Amino acid sequence: MLCFTLHSAAQAVHSAYTPLLEPLGLTYPQYLVLASLADKDGQGMGQLGASLRLESNTLTPLLKRMQAAGWLTRSRDPADDRRVVLTLTNDGRTLAQRAEDVPRAFAEKTGLNPDQIRDLRDVLAVLRNRLKPAKA
């Protein structure tokens, strides 16, 4: 069954990342957030959630933990008090740099070549977007 294989493959990927991230004190979703903010700092929670496909009920506690760890700040947008703006601290940027090698180390673990990885990623993106289109 595809569902089961996809499920277990996702968990295997999760497990493979864990030893790479654990020395940095990061969990897997926290790493995704850090990488996203390192790429584009000052994002709002909404944008971040849309790109990572996570809801506020997941992000709020996750971001609070990252804030408590001193990696980012959560501040209200002065122009719209409903919005929360996320900014990396110096510690957060340093951590993101230390995590820069993680994707390469992971790719090595998979044993797949870059073309295979790209193909697989593209198929999965099609599947995902078909099942759950990104919000408008």
Interface contacts to a second copy, rule CB under 8 A: 1-17, 28, 32, 35, 52-53, 103, 106-107, 109-112, 116-117, 120-121, 123-125, 127-128, 130-132
- Which 3 state secondary structure label does DSSP give 134? coil
- Which 3 state secondary structure label does DSSP give 56? helix
- Which 3 state secondary structure label does DSSP give 31? helix
Whole-angstrom CA distances from 41 to 33, 65, 116 are: 10, 18, 30
Cα–Cα distance measured from residue 84 to residue 16, given in angstroms and rounded to the nearest whole number: 32
Q: Could you tell me the end-to-end alpha-carbon distance of the chain, in angstroms, rounded to an integer?
A: 31
Neighbours of 33 (CB within 10 A): 26
Asked if 18 interacts with DNA (CB under 7 A), we say yes
Q: What minimum distance in Å lies between the beta carbon of 93 and DNA?
A: 19
Find which of DNA, a second copy, none residue 24 binds, CB within 5 to 8 Å per kind: none
Asked if 34 interacts with DNA (CB under 7 A), we say no
Find which of DNA, a second copy, none residue 111 binds, CB within 5 to 8 Å per kind: a second copy
Find which of DNA, a second copy, none residue 104 binds, CB within 5 to 8 Å per kind: none
Residues 48-87 contacting DNA, CB under 7 A: 49, 53-63, 65, 74, 80-84
